[in-house]
Chain A
Amino acid sequence: MSVTPSWIGLVAHLHITARAFLPMRAMEAIELVAGEGILGDRYRIGTEEGFYSPKPEPGRQVTLFEEEALEAIRRDHGIELRPEEHRRNVTTRGVPLTHLVGRRFRLGDCLLEATRLSIPCRHIEEILEKPVFDPMINRSGLNCRILEGGTVRLGDPIRPV
C-alpha cells in the first residue's frame, strides 16, 4: 500500500557560515554528515564556532527556515529579510516546519529528525540593523539532527517519511 504524503516541499536556498556573526554564504549544494552537521558550517559538532550555542548541541546539526516566513515578515511588519539573513542553513518552500517537531523527514536523500523550533537571538538585530527579533518569535525555523547524511542540492525535494 502506498501512502500519498500530504505535502512535498523543496530546497529554495542553502547557506553556511564558518563562524558566528560572519555573513552566510550561498551554496549550490551542502554536505551533511550524520550525527555531526554540515561540512564547513559553524555548528558542526566538534568544530563549533557558533556564538549562540557555545556547547555542542546535538539537536542543532542543521537548521531550516520557511521561505513563507520571509514573506509573512514582509507582509506583517514591512521588513525585507533576505534568505541569507535569517541565518539558518536551508530555506524551504512548501514545508510545514512547525508540524515536524519530533518527526523524521527526508531532505533530498538525507534523513533528518526535527528536535525543536529555533529561537531567534537578539544579536540578529545588531547584525542586520533591522528590528526582526519580535517578528521572528515563533517563526525562526527548525533545528534538526542528521540521521543519514549526504549531499543536499538546490531544488531537492523535502518530504515526510
Chain B
Amino acid sequence: MRHIRLALRAAEPAGPGIRLLTLMDPDGWPLPRWRPGAHIDLHLPGGLTRAYSLCGDPAEAECWRIAVKREPAGRGGSAWLHDALAVGEELPASLPRCTFPLAEGASRHIFLAGGIGVTPFLAMAAALARSGAEHHLHLLHRGPPPLPTQLAALQGRVTLHDTLTGRPGLAALLGPPTPGTEAYCCGPPGLIEAFLAAWPADQARVEHFTPPPLAPLPGARPFTLVLAKSGRSLDLPAGAPLLPALHSLGAEVESSCEGGICGACRVRWLEGPPLHRDRILRPEERETHLMACVAGCAGSRLVLDL
C-alpha cells in the first residue's frame, strides 16, 4: 500500500472542538510536495481511514498541518485523533492528493467556507499571498470560529459571518462573477448547493467533506469482474459494489471517503464500459480510469488493470 509514516510533532487546541496537528517524517526528512487544496488520508486503528485537508503553508517542506474537528456522531476516527494520538507517536498516511486545486488562470479568487471547511483555503491563501493574486475568504460559522490564530494571520483578507446572528445572502457576499474570478466552496452539502445556485458553474470549484448520497445505478446489469494482472475473476449481481469484491479477490485498492470524492480508489480499467458515479474524474480521465468505491459496469465484463 502506498503509505508514508508520519509522526505527531505538536498538537494544540485551535477553536471549538478542534485539535491542530503538526505531522512530520519520524526523522525530519522533507515530505512530498503538495499543492494547496490537497488532502491526505490518515490510517487509524481498526481499519478506519480519515481524509483531512492540509491547512499549513505548502512551502513548509518538513511538516504538514491538519485540523481535526471532533465529530461526536462519527465512527470514532476524530475522537482517536483527539484523545489517543500523543505527541511522538506515528501513524501511516497516504500521499497528498489534490482534488480541489486553485484555478491557474484566475486573477481573483473568492473562498466560501462552512466551519471546518476552511482548512484547504488556509493553504490556498498562503500560496496566493506569495504570488500576489487577489483573494478573499468568507467563513460561515456558528459561534466562535475555527482556527482563530490562522484566520488572524490572513490580515484582513477574511470576513467572518456568524450564522447565529443571521445567514448572509450568498449572491451579495460573492458579488458579480467578473471574468477571471474563480469562486470555491468547501463545507456541508447545504452550503455547496446554495453556492452552486448563486454562482456560475464554469467559474466554480467545490470540495465536499461528506460524500453526497449516491444515485442508484440505472443501466446496471450482472457482470464479471476480471483482474487483468492476477487473472482472477468474480461474477457479481447488478449494481454490486466493487471495493469489497476487489478486496475478496486480493487486490490492494485503497479507499477513504467511499463516496467518490477523495480520489483514493482510482483504478485503470481496460474493458467495460464502467458506469461512473464519482465527483472528481474529468471526462477524459473516465476514458481510462474509474473510482472503484462508486463505479459500476454497464457491460457484461469489467476488466481492471490490477
Q: Report A's interface with B, CB cutoff 8 A.
A: 17-23, 25, 51, 123, 126-127, 129
Chain A nearest CB from B206 CB (Å) reads: 21
Inter-chain contact A18/B29, CB cutoff 8 Å: yes
Inter-chain contact A20/B4, CB cutoff 8 Å: yes
Whether, in the assembled complex, B167 has its beta carbon less than 8 Å from a beta carbon of chain A, the answer is: no
On whether A127 and B32 interact (CB within 8 A), knowing A19-B5, A21-B95, A22-B4, the answer reads yes
| Chain B residues near A21 (CB-CB < 8 A) | 2, 4, 32, 95
Inter-chain contact B30/A23, CB cutoff 8 Å: yes
Smallest CB gap from A22: residue in B: B29
On whether A127 and B95 interact (CB within 8 A), knowing A17-B29, A22-B25, the answer reads yes
Within 8 A of A (CB), among B6-38: 25, 27, 29-33, 35
Inter-chain contact A19/B30, CB cutoff 8 Å: no
Inter-chain contact B4/A19, CB cutoff 8 Å: yes
| Chain B residues near A25 (CB-CB < 8 A) | 29-30
Chain B nearest CB from A54 CB (Å) reads: 10
Inter-chain contact B95/A126, CB cutoff 8 Å: yes
Assembled-state Cα–Cα distance A129/B248 (Å): 30
Instruction: Add 14 more A-B contacts to A22-B31, A25-B30, A123-B2 (CB < 8 A).
Output: A19-B4, A19-B5, A22-B4, A22-B30, A22-B32, A23-B30, A23-B31, A23-B32, A23-B61, A25-B29, A51-B3, A126-B2, A126-B97, A129-B98
Q: Can you sample 22 A-B contacts with CB below 8 Å?
A: A17-B29, A18-B25, A18-B29, A19-B25, A20-B4, A21-B2, A21-B4, A22-B4, A22-B25, A22-B30, A22-B31, A22-B32, A23-B61, A25-B29, A25-B30, A51-B2, A123-B2, A126-B2, A126-B95, A126-B97, A127-B95, A129-B35
